[in-house]
Chain A
Amino acid sequence: MTDGAPPLSAVQLDRIAWRRRQSIRSILVAAASTAVLGVLLVVAVTGAPGWDRVRQSFLDPTIAADALPDILRGLWLNVRLLVFCAVGSLALGLVIALLRTLRGPVFFPVRALATSYTYTFRGLPLIIVIYVLTLGVPGLRLQGMPSVLVLGGLALVLTYSGYLAEVFRAGIESVHPSQVAAARSLGLTYRQAMRHVVLPQAVRRVAPPLLNDTVALQKDVGLVSLAGPIDAVRAAQISTAEHFNYTPYIVAGVLFVLLAIPLIAVTDWVTLRAARRQASR
C-alpha cells in the first residue's frame, strides 16, 4: 500500500462533478432571487409617497452623527449591566433550581422558599420590580445603600433568575432517572451524582434556551433607565427630543442589533451542536 485509497471509479467521479454543478446552481439561484426581492423592496419603499418625509425624520445622517457619542455611552452601560445581570441570574437561577431538587424533610422550608421564589418573580412584571427596588428601597435610607444602578441590576437578576431557575430545573429533570441510579450504585452520594452526572448533562441540554433568555435580557437591561441611569435607548430619547427627529432611535436600534448578533450567533451554534449530538445518539 503506497498511495492509500484506490483511484475513484468513473461513476463516483461523475457523481462528484454532478454534486458540484448542483451546488453552484443553487448558489446562483439564491443570489438571483435575493437580488430581485431586494430591488422590489427598495423600489416599493423609496417610491412611496411619504418616503421623503420619513427619510428626513428617521434617517438624517448629521443628526445620527451628532447623537452617536451619547448613545454609545449609553450602550456601554447596557453592556456592563448585561454582563453583570447575565452572570448574576445564571448563578442565582442554578442555585434556586438545585434547592428545588433537594430531598428530605429538613429541606422542606428551603424547597418551599425556592418554589415560591420562581412563582413570584415569574409572575411579577419586571417594571414593578425595578420601581420597587430603585424607588422604594432607597427610601429606607439604610446605611451603605447601593446605587440606583446596582439596585436596578438586582431587580433584573431577581426576575431573570426566576425564569432561568425553571430552565435549569427542566434540564435536571430531563436527565433519565437511571443515570442517577447508575451513579448512586457506583457509590456516589446524591451531591456527587448531581455534580458529576446530572448537572453536566442538564446544562448541555438547556444551553440553547438559557442563551435565548440572555438575548432577551439584553433588551430588558435598558429598563433600568426608568429609574434614572441613562442607557442607549434613554440617550436616544433625549437626543430625539432635542432635534425633533427620530433618527437617534434608529441609531440605537441598529446598535442593539449589532450587539445581539454575536450572542444570537452563539445561541444558534450551540443549538445546532446540541441537535447534532442528539441526532448522533
Chain B
Amino acid sequence: MTAVLSCQGVRKLFGPSVVLDGLDLDVAEHEVVALIGASGSGKSTLLRCVNLLEDLDDGTIHLDGAHITDPRINPDLVRRKIGIVFQAYNLFPHLSVLDNITLAPVRVHKRPAASARSQALALLDRIGLASKAAAFPDRLSGGQQQRVAIVRALVNSPRLLLLDEVTSALDPELVGEVLDLIRDLKADGMTMVLATHEMTFARQVADRVCFLDAGRILEQGSPEQVLDNPVEARTQQFLRRLAPA
C-alpha cells in the first residue's frame, strides 16, 4: 500500500526560525489525519508546503508516489490534485457562489460552462445551499461560506483535501454544519489532513491525531490514545492547558 501523501524530513525556515525540522508524515488512502499543536507550531506551514504554496528548505513530499517538491515539475498541475481550505478569505467576494465553484473547472480545465454549472449545482444541493447559488459570499453566514469553500475545493476531484482550521472563525452553532459536511466526505472516502485547535473536532473525524512540537510530530496515534492517554510530557502539558477552556 503506497501512501497518498508522504512527507519525509520536511524542513522549513522563515528567516532564522526553524518552523518544520525534519518532519515525517505518511497519510494512507481514505485516512483522515488531524494535526494539533500549539499556535505557531507549524500546522498551517505544513499544509501550505504540501500545497506547494511554500518552498521547502529540505526534505521531500510525495503525492501518490510522485515527487511533487521537485522544482522541475509544474506546481499548478500538482495543486489541481490537492484541495485546500483556509480559516477565512476562501471565497472570491466578487463572484457569486456558483461562479466561485465553476471558476476553476471553466478556466483551468476548460470544461463547458453548462456541465460545470450542473456539477456545481449538484454539489450545492448536497450541502443544502442550492438556493444560494446566485448569492454573493457576503450574503452567506460564516458556516455557509466555509461549506461552499469546501465544496469548491472538491470540483477538481482532488486526491487529498487539506483543511486549515476551517471552523475556528465560526460561532459554535455554525461549527456543527461544517463538521457534518466533513464527516460526509470522510464517509465518501476522501483522504484529508486537517489542522485544528478543537479537540472534539479531531476526536470526531480523525483516524489519527498528530501532535506537532518543535517542528516535528512528537506523538501520534488514535484520538483516544493521543488525546486521552498521551505519553509525552509536552503533549500532556498542551492538552492540560486546553482542558479548562
B89 contacts A178, C-beta separation under 8 Å: yes
B92 contacts A281, C-beta separation under 8 Å: no
Segment among A58-66, A195-203, A245-253 that sits at the interface with chain B: A195-203
> Does B90 have its Cβ within 8 Å of any Cβ on chain A?
yes
B108 contacts A185, C-beta separation under 8 Å: no
Q: Which residues of B contact A186 (CB under 8 A)?
A: 79-80, 103-104, 108, 152-153, 155-156
A250-281 CB contacts (< 8 Å) to partner B = 277, 280-281
Query: Could you tell me how many residues of chain B have their Cβ less than 8 Å away from some Cβ of chain A?
Result: 30
A 163-181 binary contact with B (CB < 8 Å = 1; else 0) = 0000000000000101101
> Does B86 have its Cβ within 8 Å of any Cβ on chain A?
yes
Q: Which residues of B contact A192 (CB under 8 A)?
A: 107-108
CA A183 – CA B156 in complex, angstroms? 12
CA A185 – CA B104 in complex, angstroms? 10
> Does A55 have its Cβ within 8 Å of any Cβ on chain B?
no
Q: A192-B108, A204-B94 are in contact. Are A187 and B89 (CB under 8 A)?
A: no
User: Would you give 6 A-B contacts (Cβ < 8 Å), ordered by A?
Assistant: A182-B86, A184-B76, A185-B51, A186-B108, A280-B139, A281-B138
In this complex, what residue of B is CB-closest to A185?
B84
**A173 smallest CB distance to B (angstroms):** 15
Q: Which residues of A contact B48 (CB under 8 A)?
A: 181
B116-157 CB contacts (< 8 Å) to partner A = 138-139, 149, 152-153, 155-156
**B149 smallest CB distance to A (angstroms):** 8
Which of A178, A185, A189 is within 8 Å of B83, CB to CB? A185
* Inter-chain pairs besides A186-B103, A201-B93, 19 sampled, C-beta below 8 Å: A179-B89, A179-B92, A182-B84, A182-B89, A182-B91, A183-B92, A184-B53, A185-B53, A186-B104, A187-B79, A187-B80, A188-B76, A188-B103, A189-B76, A197-B92, A197-B103, A200-B94, A204-B94, A277-B138
> Does B28 have its Cβ within 8 Å of any Cβ on chain A?
no
Query: Could you tell me how many residues of chain A have their Cβ less than 8 Å away from some Cβ of chain B?
Result: 21
> Does B82 have its Cβ within 8 Å of any Cβ on chain A?
yes
CA A280 – CA B152 in complex, angstroms? 23
A196 contacts B107, C-beta separation under 8 Å: yes
Q: Which residues of B contact A182 (CB under 8 A)?
A: 84, 86, 89-92, 149
Which of A176, A178, A185 is within 8 Å of B153, CB to CB? A185
In this complex, what residue of B is CB-closest to A204?
B94
A184 contacts B86, C-beta separation under 8 Å: no
CA A201 – CA B138 in complex, angstroms? 14
CA A182 – CA B155 in complex, angstroms? 13
CA A140 – CA B117 in complex, angstroms? 59
In this complex, what residue of A is CB-closest to B155?
A186
**A105 smallest CB distance to B (angstroms):** 14
B69-122 CB contacts (< 8 Å) to partner A = 76-77, 79-80, 82-84, 86, 88-94, 103-104, 107-109
CA A183 – CA B99 in complex, angstroms? 13
**B94 smallest CB distance to A (angstroms):** 5
CA A188 – CA B83 in complex, angstroms? 12
**B60 smallest CB distance to A (angstroms):** 20
B79 contacts A185, C-beta separation under 8 Å: yes
CA A182 – CA B103 in complex, angstroms? 12
In this complex, what residue of B is CB-closest to A180?
B53
Q: Which residues of B contact A201 (CB under 8 A)?
A: 92-94
In this complex, what residue of B is CB-closest to A278?
B138
Q: Which residues of B contact A281 (CB under 8 A)?
A: 93, 138
Q: Which residues of A contact B89 (CB under 8 A)?
A: 176, 178-179, 182
CA A187 – CA B84 in complex, angstroms? 11
**A278 smallest CB distance to B (angstroms):** 10
CA A280 – CA B153 in complex, angstroms? 26
B108 contacts A188, C-beta separation under 8 Å: yes
